[in-house]
Amino acid sequence: MLWEVEIRPAAGRRDAEAERAAELARGLGLSVEPTASARSFLIEGDLTREQIERDAVPLLCDSVIETAEVTACNAEAPRSAPAIGDGELLNVLFLPGVTDNVARSAKGALQRLNVPATNVASVRKYWVAPGADPAALDRLCRRVLANDSIEHVVRGQLTLDTLALGKPYRFEKIVVPLRGMDDEAMLRLSKEGQLSLSLAEMQTVRDHFAEVGRDPTDCELESVAQTWSEHCSHKTLAGPIRYEGPDGTVEFGNMLKETIFAATVAIRANLGDDDWCRSVFSDNAGVVHFEGEGDDEQCVCIKVETHNHPSAIEPYGGANTGIGGVIRDPLGTGLGAKPLCSTDVFCFASPTTPADSLPPGVLHPATVMSGVVAGVRDYGNRMGIPTVNGAVCFDDRYLGNPLVFCGNVALIPADKVAKKVSPGDRIVALGGATGRDGIHGATFSSVDLHEESESVSGGAVQIGDAVTEKMVADVLLQARDRGLYSAVTDCGAGGFSSAVGEMGEETGAEVHLDRAPLKYPGLSPMEIWISEAQERMVFAVPPENVAAFVALAESEGVGVAELGEFTGTGRLVLKYEGHTVADMAMAFLHDGRPHIVRAATYAPATVEPLALPDKSDWTDELLAILAAPNVASKEFIIRQYDQEVQAHSVVKPLVGEAEDGPGDAAVIRPLHASNRGLAVGCGINPRLGDLDTARMAESALDEAVRNVVAVGADPSRIAVLDNFCWGNTERPETLGSLVRSAVALQDYAVALGTPFVSGKDSLYNEFAYSDESGERQTVAIPPTLLVTAMGQVPDSGRAVTMDLKQAGNALYLVGETRDELGGSHLGLVLFQTGGTPPTVDAEAAPAVFAAVHRAIAEGCVRACHDLSEGGLAVAAAEMAFAGALGAELSVEHVPDGGDRLSDAAALFSESNTRFLLEAPAELTATLERHLTGVPYVKIGSVTDGDRLVIRGSDGSPLIDASLADLKAAWQSTFAGY
């Protein structure tokens, strides 16, 4: 029997969901909008109406604000008229197999109330006025009410009579006749089977199995495809590259290792005994020393991932599983780290893009933005991990290919940093059950998106379940502290295939796929093996601990299954109901991939001068920059994140008198017995990449370091992390621009002494479609590098914020300003291109960072803000309105290294390694002593007025604006979001 419990707002109560959907529909200019909504539960089981009304309704319906109606649901006897008027009813149901957390919770709660529900589904219902235009109704369903990749809309009363899903699987061994295939057939197989393997790779697999004397099974072929995928092996950047740049040709055997990783090796060598890196580039997250020694030593680790392709198709689920995945990285680092905080950075096309200008197959950027933010919010908040840092960049080339960077910082005792799998250890899976979720996610993120992605790749979209992951984390940390396992890793892209393949690389593994708990029947062994169902971790558990491990998991209601064991054979053996479905050498999986030398070229772009208007008042430009989307307040996003949970927040993302000013970086105090703080910040500026990716890379690293130094981090204890997001690197010039940025990062990181401890790249970020005239168009994202910095603040009680504190205090500009307006926000608001992009001074920069840190650590600094987009003028404006205090500055003596700066350059140049400091009069002498040897000027003072005035060399005001106008400009852009 199938029952429906339909729950609607009680008479006189707001129908917030209908209002929300109607507003979205109006925003898209649709002629139809929902007038009412309901949520409903379909409950299947041997149940009477009385049971449903007595037990289920009080559980599901909040009687203070809602009413419920119970109806029998079946195919033969359609139910009475719709509940509201005579409008048309639209039911939104999840596609079969998509994770339905609400339904699962309802089923569990009903069963505990002795209501024997066998299946539950959750439904959203909407009513629209009758006689709607069919095309508008269709758009309403697709664009507003449901997302095709996870949901479908059923019009009218539901007539289904069962929710049963999946048929029992009957074993069939599938062998792929690869040995008989020619090149064309293999390429077709790779494409149609979503293996994403190149011809050379397919040939290598064919030749390997020819040598073995048989054809591969589907599981074997998939294991190869997953292991060799760009996502899992980073074969492009960690492979051989022949780079032809302006200074000649360089041959890399492993580009990442010889640039980014090499920087860390050099820094560690320089540090000698003072080396504070603990585990870098070898585990799921990079680990460094934090505090204490010996048995009490605590370390911290960090990882930042991207989840771009899934977020393009289903922004909520994509971002949800993005953050869920990156939280599992620290959990799977060493023997498990405890997540402390998250950082999330996004790149979108403009949310004001006209809806009718979108290419086919593209979600509206506003839809993408709200979905991504909600996805991060709902997962992070539920996990109880504060999101403390972030940034959002806008560029129309992110249309169809948004970037979603999710990062996590975690705490791990030093004695839990090492892990080792031993033959005989059992393979134990912990967490969620396995379904068809996300099959081919690993290979999917290695191909360009195209307009059919929405349908072809739909199976690749997963929905997260944060509470399951929280439960997994709770069990993992207890099991870790009880010493119950010897190694752990997370199931990310490639699912069990990647996790077991990685852990068993040295030993070999035998896995019984039929032992994996399934969400529903019908999965083939291959599907179980590569499913990317979320919230699963794989452990190596010594046999004597298996019982205790299983008991612990069961005591907290977390799914657990022993899948097999790590062997000593060096082979990957997969079994299903006694049949061997794979048996191959780990060595071939991990080392058999052909190394293809990729071509990379770089030719410098010619620098055109920036044509600036001749004017004496730049107030309008300042207001325009403050309102520019990359600079404008992101409070509407930040407030949706829990920044306080775990109770270790010291400097929040929003600071100042009204708690709404833009902090440079967050500071947390993770150990409550200690004042030592952790600062998390980032640098990203895709506008520079179009001019020179080397300058972009250096600037991103400099900005990340600036941000954490500005709040009090010690520049000699800053770990950094790179995320390259680029277009199709099969084009030599695209790969070349990436190599150039990696080399620049290497050099500057060594100069600053900031080791890279981990990183992740995402290539092929392009979107292809056919335009109105049938022409094939490709939109590649601008080269985008995110650098995340994790700094250490010796005494978090000395942390500073960027808001001005007190009238009469002096303002100091530290660092040298050059005429570097290329890629600047001044150029953006003047609609001008050209100009020199910001450079770095590898010799001078370390001294500037050290001096600013000394001044902060010694307590001389009341406020500190880094100079970035919009330069000096924007920094001063933000400090003033955040502190609700005026300021008077003069650019007359701005340190310019001998170049004569124009007023515009003094105000708006985006030169790196600069800070604006506030110091009380009685401490300026001490401050100046700390700044000895670095360029600085006492540039002005804090006033008790309500204006920001910046004067030019001749004393006349270049900027004169009220704090209210400055703040209004900065807050107006996203005021309605």
Partner 1 sequence: MSAPRALVVRAPGTNSDEETVRAFETAGAVVDHLHLFRVLEEPDMLDRYQIFCVPGGFSYGDDLGSGVIFARHLSGPLGDALGRFLNADKLVLGICNGFQVLLKAGVLPGGADGWGANQTPKATLTWNESGRYDCRWVRLRNDRPDHAFLRDMPDVEMPIAHAEGRIAVSDPAVLKEWVANGNVALRYAARQGDLPEGGPTADVTLAAPHNPNGSFADIAGLSDASGKILGLMPHPERFQFAHQHPRWTRLGLTGEGAGMKLFRNAVEWFD
Per the annotation, does 464 bind a ligand?
A: no
Q: Which of residues 834-873 bind partner 1 (CB under 8 A)?
A: 862
Q: Which residues make Cβ contacts (< 8 Å) with residue 465, sequence separation at least 6?
A: 99, 101, 432, 534, 535
Closest CA to 810 of 889, 865, 893, 913: 889
Using CB under 8 A as the binding rule, whether residue 382 contacts partner 1 is answered as yes
Please name which of 22, 26, 41, 162 lies closest in space to residue 91, comparing C-alpha atoms: 41
Bridge partner residues of 782 (DSSP): none
Mapped onto helix, strand or coil, the DSSP state of residue 219 is helix
Region near partner 1 per CB under 8 A, out of 85-93, 125-133, 745-753, 793-801: 793-801
Active site residue 865: no
Query: Min. distance of Cβ 310 from partner 1 in angstroms?
Result: 21
Structure tokens at 347: 């790149």
The 8-class DSSP code of residue 94 comes to E
Among 599, 645, 847, 968, binds partner 1 (CB under 8 A): 645
Q: Which of 466, 790, 906, 937 binds partner 1 (CB under 8 A)?
A: 466
Sign of CA dihedral 103, 109, 112, 115: negative
Report helix, strand or coil for 509. strand
Residues 549, 541 contacting (CB under 8 angstroms)? yes
Q: Does 641 bind partner 1 (CB under 8 A)?
A: yes
Q: How far is the CB of 124 from partner 1 (least distance, A)?
A: 14
Q: Which of 289, 309, 669, 853 binds partner 1 (CB under 8 A)?
A: 669
> Which residues are CB-contacts of 123 (< 8 A; sequence separation ≥ 6)?
4, 39, 40, 41, 42, 91, 92, 93, 158
Residue with tokens 């073995």: 212
Angle subtended by helix axes 963-972 and 871-883, to nearest 10: 100
Dihedral sign computed on CA atoms, order 19, 20, 21, 27? positive
The reply on whether position 807 binds partner 1 by CB under 8 A is no
Q: How far apart are the first and last CA of the chain?
A: 44
Catalytic residue of the set 307, 364, 440, 930: 307
Least distance from partner 1 to the Cβ atom of residue 706, Å: 19
Would you say 305 is a known binding-site residue? yes
Q: Which of 145, 479, 786, 800 touches partner 1 by CB under 8 A?
A: 800
H helix or E strand, kind and range, residue 410:
strand 403-413
* Window 113 to 142, contacts with partner 1 (CB under 8 A): 113
Identify which range of 265-273, 314-322, 380-388, 586-594 contacts partner 1 by CB under 8 A: 380-388
Candidate ranges 223-231, 502-510, 716-724, 801-809; the one touching partner 1 (CB under 8 A):
801-809
What distance lies between CA 62 and its chain's CA centroid?
Answer: 35
- Report the site for partner 1 in 11-30 (rule: CB under 8 A): 16, 20
Q: Kindly tell me which of 534 and 796 has the beta carbon lying closer to partner 1.
A: 796
Q: How far is the CB of 926 from partner 1 (least distance, A)?
A: 19
State yes or no: residue 797 binds partner 1 (CB under 8 A).
yes
What is the full DSSP assignment across 527-590? HHHH---SSEEEEEE-GGGHHHHHHHHHHTT--EEEEEEE-SSSEEEEEETTEEEEEEEHHHHH
With CB under 8 A as the contact rule, the residue among 25, 392, 600, 655 that binds partner 1 is 655
Beta carbon nearer to partner 1, 385 or 873: 385
- CA-to-CA separations, 859 to 678, 798, 855, 878, in angstroms, rounded: 18, 7, 6, 22
Among 281, 262, 272, 375, residue whose Cα is nearest residue 324:
375
747 is an annotated ligand-binding site residue: no
368 binds partner 1 (CB under 8 A): no
Which member of 125, 289, 309, 377 binds partner 1 (CB under 8 A)? Answer: 377
Contact between 455 and partner 1 by CB under 8 A: the answer reads no
Catalytic residue among 152, 208, 231, 930: 231
- x/- site string to partner 1, residues 282 to 301, per CB under 8 A? --------------------
Site string for partner 1, 873-912 (x = CB under 8 A): ----------x-----------------------------
Task: Quote the least distance from Cβ 162 to partner 1, whole Å.
Answer: 23
| Binding track over 79-108 against partner 1, x by CB under 8 A | ----------------------xx-xxx-x
What does the alpha-carbon distance between residue 945 and residue 966 come to, in Å, rounded to a whole number? 14
Q: What whole-number distance in Å separates Cα of residue 805 and Cα of residue 882?
A: 9
Is 314 one of the annotated binding-site residues?
no
Helices (H), 387-440: none
Give the interface segment with partner 1, choosing from 25-33, 61-69, 353-361, 918-926 (CB under 8 A).
61-69
Catalytic: 307? yes
Q: What is the DSSP string of 268-287?
A: HHHHGGG--EEE-SSSSSEE
By the rule CB under 8 A, 536 interacts with partner 1: no
Stretch that binds partner 1, among 87-95, 617-625, 648-656, 814-822 (CB under 8 A): 648-656
Shortest separation between residue 195's beta carbon and partner 1, angstroms: 36
CA of 161: how far to CAs of 157, 164, 303, 782, in Å? 12, 9, 47, 51
722 is in an annotated binding site: yes
64 binds partner 1 (CB under 8 A): yes
The nearest distance, CB 964 to partner 1, in angstroms, is 17
Are residues 773 and 756 in contact, defined by beta-carbon separation less than 8 angstroms?
A: no
Closer of 251 and 556 to partner 1 (Cβ): 556
What does the binding site for partner 1 look like in residue numbers (CB under 8 A)?
A: 16, 20, 59-60, 62-65, 101-102, 104-106, 108-109, 112-113, 377-378, 381-384, 465-467, 470-471, 474, 555-557, 639-647, 649-652, 654-657, 659, 669, 672, 796-797, 799-801, 803, 805, 862, 883
Query: What residues are labeled active site?
Result: 231, 307
Query: Annotated binding residues, as ranges?
Result: 303, 305, 328-329, 462, 490, 722, 759, 762
